[in-house]
Structure 1
């Protein structure tokens, strides 16, 4: 199947403001490879969308009946579904909480349309886009040197380079960007990622960041 024949990515939007929903809908319509599966104004209405297993959810946080990131664990029960937070909230507590629930990325609503499209594409491609303002809080959280939880076995301990790579991903860097940052090849990045996933017994970057923090390794 060629790139042109590849099916469009199915995207669901959970956002209570109708004008913002319309805005996101317009942005997504700019990309031929994306299509809107459906939209919901609150958590209760999102359940019907989750059951359809979209490729990606755009999640607002401040919803009338709860917090958008509380949907993430339920979304993750559907294989292949990803969750990208896009919110006006950029405070430390909210950013960290969203990532710790398993969100695949965190963008602020004042991001440009192109940044939002790039963030959607990166998330679908397995990346973890994070707005610079949100990345500051996330990196501060990772560098806080928390007390380790339990004993890390030698088989699960990350190398210094693997820890640096997770920090690069937390800033929202792609494989190529992380390779440039660390002065290594994209192929070597891929090798490190496989090692990280194996050691931490995870399957995504957000899970790796969360597990590395939980075990006190970053």
Structure 2
């Protein structure tokens, strides 16, 4: 049986860019664009009404910005993934977006080349950061933390849970992590749900950031 297309909402304040993104996503058979918005407030309203599987979200929006939109979506709909697509090539913005619960961060100039795979990776349980920004982000993260508290709260997660989270932090999808650990994808997803509950988080990216802060995993 053919799988139903993944429902997507696109949030972008520039009408021309919005039209281009909708056209690009509509050309992909695995996706269905079910709505769009040009402001943060409208984005929250349409997400609440349609509950899509994925929100493709700009950061710079009139009214409520993309970081706050991400935070609100993830706090009320933990099963909705958010992928940031923006012009900002700024590691501090990446940090803020990941902390808010975004599953990925891409810059617009790379959309045509990377967007399709990034969407698939996020939906499969990966965390996506635009390659040129990834190293800068982790350097920034470590400088903000001032060094991790090694071994702090090590008993919080089991060895297997730490192994899974370590792989997620390095960008592996659920399927890839399962292949390494000889587990099926559903089992990995179940372990991740346990990890989120233990850490009090609602997404892979939040869990990775918190686990790094606590010294539970390293890069």
Does the TM-score normalized on the shorter chain lie above 0.5? yes
Shift of 1:191: 5.8
Q: Shift of residue 31 of structure 1?
A: 1.3
Distance 1:99 1:141 in 2: 13
Q: Could you tell me which of 1, 8, 11 is aligned with 2:8?
A: 11
Alpha-carbon deviations, 1:146-170, whole Å to 9, x = none? 3558x943421676x947x656544
The 2-side partners of 1:33 and 1:192 are apart by: 21
The counterpart of 2:60, out of the listed 53, 62, 65, is 62
Seen in structure 2, the aligned counterparts of structure 1 residues 125 and 178 have a Cα distance that, compared at 3 Å, is closer
Higher helix share: 2
User: How many pairs were matched up?
Assistant: 210
State the Cα RMSD in Å. 3.2
Partner of 1:51: 48
CA deviations on 1:4-51 (whole Å, 9 max, x unpaired) are: 1x2221101110011111111111112112111111111121122121
Correspondence 1:153 to 2:174:
no
CA distance in 2, matches of 1:171, 1:109: 23
Instruction: Tell me which of 18, 22, 25 is aligned to 2:22.
Output: 25
Using structure 2 for the length normalisation, give the TM-score. Answer: 0.79
Matched, 1:208 2:204: no
Q: Once structures 1 and 2 are overlaid, which stretch shifts more, 201-210 or 19-28? A: 201-210
Conserved in 1, the CA contact under 8 Å of 2:78 and 2:203? no
Q: Show the 5 A alignment for 1:97-116.
A: 97-116=96-115
Using the size of structure 1 for normalisation, the TM-score is 0.79
SS of the residue corresponding to residue 62 of structure 1 reads: coil
For each residue in 1:107-139, what CA deviation from the matched residue of structure 2 results, as whole angstroms up to 9, or x when unmatched? Answer: 111114241011112212222121102211222
Separation in 1, partners of 2:132, 2:165:
18
Q: For residue 208 of structure 1, give the secondary structure of its aligned residue in structure 2.
A: helix
| Matched-pair contact (CA < 8 Å) for 1:155–1:199 | no
The runs of 5 or more residues in structure 1 that have no matched partner are: none
**Equivalent residue runs for 1:107-186 within 5 Å:** 107-144=106-143, 146=146, 152-156=152-156, 162=162, 166=165, 169-170=168-169, 172-175=171-174, 184-185=180-181
Q: What are the Cα deviations for residues 77-113 of structure 1, in whole angstroms up to 9, with x where unaligned?
A: 1241111101110211111111111111111111142
5+ residue gaps, structure 2, are none
